[in-house]
Amino acid sequence: MKYKFFLKKISSLLGFLRFCDVKVFYITFLSLIVAFFEIFAIGSIVYFLNIVSGKVDISNIDYFSLINLSGFNHDEILIFSAILLLLIFILKAFFNVYFNYKLASTSRMGFYKIADALLKNFLSRSNVDYHKITNSSLSKLIITEGQGVTTAILGFLTIIAEAVVLLFLLVMLAYENLHITLAAIFSVFIIALLLYITVTSSIKKQGLSRENSQKQMFGIINQAYGNFKMIKFFPDEKSFIDLFNKSNHLFAKSLIRFETLIHIPKITIELLGFSLILISSILLLYNNPSNKVEILQTLTVFVLGFYRILPAINRIVSAINRISFNAKSIDLVKYNLDYRFEKSKGKKFDFKKNIVFRDISFSYSSKVVLNDIYLDINLGDRIGIFGKSGAGKSSLLDIISGLNKPQKGNIFIDSKQFGFSEYTGIRNIIGYIPQNVYLFNGTIAENVAFGRKIDKLMVINALRKAKFYESNEHNLDFIINDYGNNLSGGQRQRIGIARALYANPKILILDESTASLDDKTQELILKEISNLPKNIAVISVSHNLKSLSFCNKIFKLEKGKIQQIDKSILI
């Protein structure tokens, strides 16, 4: 059954080849040229040794029949032959460099495209599916497992290349002595089969151990960074470090075992090759004691042949082991590339009057979250939605934002009904401000544009609307640390508002956006939001009713039901 496992991985690798710039048939073609050079080089050495010994007269060799060598003595012909042999090996060396460059570029550029495809597929997931993968798992998938797949692709291409060379060399040796060649093939096959059953099986286990321990390491690193302050309150950091060291130690041990096991086939095959040459020498001399010159020539051919065959076999076995070691990477990357992702967003559209939701229901994992929701959003509205934790506030926001698809209901924009696939275009006119604004290591301008093309006038305009530009000494090129650790909470939130306003949205959504701020800062920011132009509808969600005082409509969400309440209860 082990061969079926390997064939399944090869089948998956064939699918990954679409990410490679160079096609398999071109690699095979280059392998044929490499094989020709190998055979020609070995034949040239044999001829050169025969010329040195005087057994062959170069002027009688067909290759040189067009060259008049009658005026040259034996030593001059020998020098000419040596120079010619050197030129052949130089040409062979240059072509081998080019061939290995093509192998490396094919697989490593494959990583660039696979990593790109993995991130693209992740960003194309639905909002529901997004929660099924963790931050550390995503980093590990794209960087580590992506590289594991490209290592396996390189191994697969190496198997093709070396198999072609090996086949041609075996044909050459069979032509020289069929019996010795068949005996060598049989012996190597048996040893290789035993190595695959034993060593490759162990390598596969180490690959699984590597993947599992590395997943734990990524998770712990992510926890350490995200909970830095909390860890500081521990009596010491030893318990956290010990947790990391445990996974780190398992990871290191799996790599040590892999690097040890992968050399066993090479050592074994080299020992076998040397043994075969010795045994063949003894048998040939024993059976033909009077024909030592021809036996020496045959042995020379086999020694030179095995000089290239043994490394080829070693590379093939090593490639098989590397594919087995990275089997889990192949499975994980294939699963994520085959993942059924969300269809592209609908076309961008605008709304001039209102968006109306009728009879909207939404369930998650068979649990009813929203039931028979009726909601009207008019242009310029300031809508507040409050409710306890778990009431369905975020789920309602996700439906309004076109992130989650309701199981039931109708959506109308300016009296025109929209299907959900069309309604997803609403995302193009929405600005979103989360509770915890993620700021990355970059300039203020880069954080406001957030991957979009930077227009300094638009950045300044957005910062002014968020009341950040005039009230801070920082210029647009000021470098923000990861998570905005060198800014205050209010400054971080204002940059989040500027980011949401950068593309001039028609709808601004606040998802508990001021919950982590002190009362004074919260009041200032909410006042600035309430003073935004009336061509922007603002939807604010909070569990704190007081923070919705700027809204002209307030809704209470409870047990999946929504109800508009009288704003006078805030007084």
Q: Can you give the pLDDT at residue 230?
A: 57
**Residue labelled with tokens 């995302």:** 427
CA 177 to chain centroid, in Å, comes to 49
* Cα separation, 250 vs 243, whole angstroms: 11
Residue 404 in tokens? 């989650």
DSSP structure string for 305-317: HHHHHHHHHHHHH
* Residues whose CB is less than 8 angstroms from the CB of residue 343 and which lie 6 or more positions away in sequence, other chains included: 421, 424
Residue 70 in this model has a pLDDT that exceeds 60:
no
pLDDT at 65: 52
The fold for domain 2-337 equals ABC transporter transmembrane region fold (1.20.1560)
Identify any residues that bridge with 270 across adjacent strands, giving them in sequence order: none
DSSP state of 143: I
Report CA dihedral (493, 495, 497, 503) to the nearest 10 degrees.
-160
Q: Which of 315, 331, 263 is nearest to 154 (CA)?
A: 315
How many other C-beta atoms can be found within 10 angstroms of the C-beta atom of residue 16? Answer: 22
Q: Where in the chain is the domain with CATH 3.40.50.300?
A: 354-570
User: What average pLDDT score do residues 437-448 get?
Assistant: 87
Residue for token pair 């069309």: 422
Alpha helices in 124-145 (DSSP H): 127-130, 135-139
- When pLDDT is cut at 50, 70 and 90, the band that residue 66 belongs to is very low
Contacts of 209 (CB under 8 A, 6+ apart): 250, 253, 254
Number of H helices, E strands in the chain: 19, 12
CA–CA dist 370, 557 (Å, integer): 9
What residue ranges of the chain are covered by domains with CATH 1.20.1560.10? 2-337
pLDDT tens per residue across span 280-331: 767 766 676 666 666 666 667 777 777 777 778 888 888 888 888 888 888 8
| Residues in a beta bridge with 432 | 509
Between 430 and 39, residue with greater pLDDT: 430
Packing angle between helix 146-176 and helix 327-337, nearest 10 degrees?
A: 120
CA-nearest of 487, 453, 455 to 471 is 487
pLDDT in the model for residue 238: 72
- What is the CA angle 282-285-288, rounded to 5? 145
Give the pLDDT mean for 136-154.
Answer: 85
Instruction: Give CA–CA dist 29/27, Å, rounded.
Output: 5
- What is this structure's pTM? 0.69
> Is beta strand 430-433 parallel, antiparallel or unpaired with respect to 442-443?
unpaired
Cβ atoms < 10 Å from Cβ of 561: 15
What are 395's two structure tokens?
Answer: 């789920």
CA 117 – CA 114 distance, rounded (Å): 5
Question: Model confidence at 211, in pLDDT bands (50, 70, 90)?
Answer: confident
Q: Residue 397 in contact with residue 511, Cβ under 8 Å?
A: yes
Give the pairing type, strands 382-386 and 537-542: parallel
Pairing of strands 367-378, 354-364: antiparallel
Residues paired with residue 556 on neighbouring β-strands, in sequence order: 386, 563
Q: How confident is the model at residue 347 (pLDDT cuts 50, 70, 90)?
A: low
- Cβ-contact 115, 138 below 8 angstroms: no
Question: Mean pLDDT, the chain, as a whole number?
Answer: 79
450 close to 502: Cβ distance less than 8 angstroms: yes
- CATH number of this structure's domain 354-570, picked from the four choices 3.40.50.2300, 3.40.50.720, 2.60.40.10, 3.40.50.300: 3.40.50.300
Q: For residues 429 and 398, is the Cβ–Cβ distance under 8 A?
A: no
**Structure confidence by residue, pLDDT tens digits, 354-410:** 888 898 888 877 788 888 888 888 888 888 888 887 788 888 888 888 888 888 888
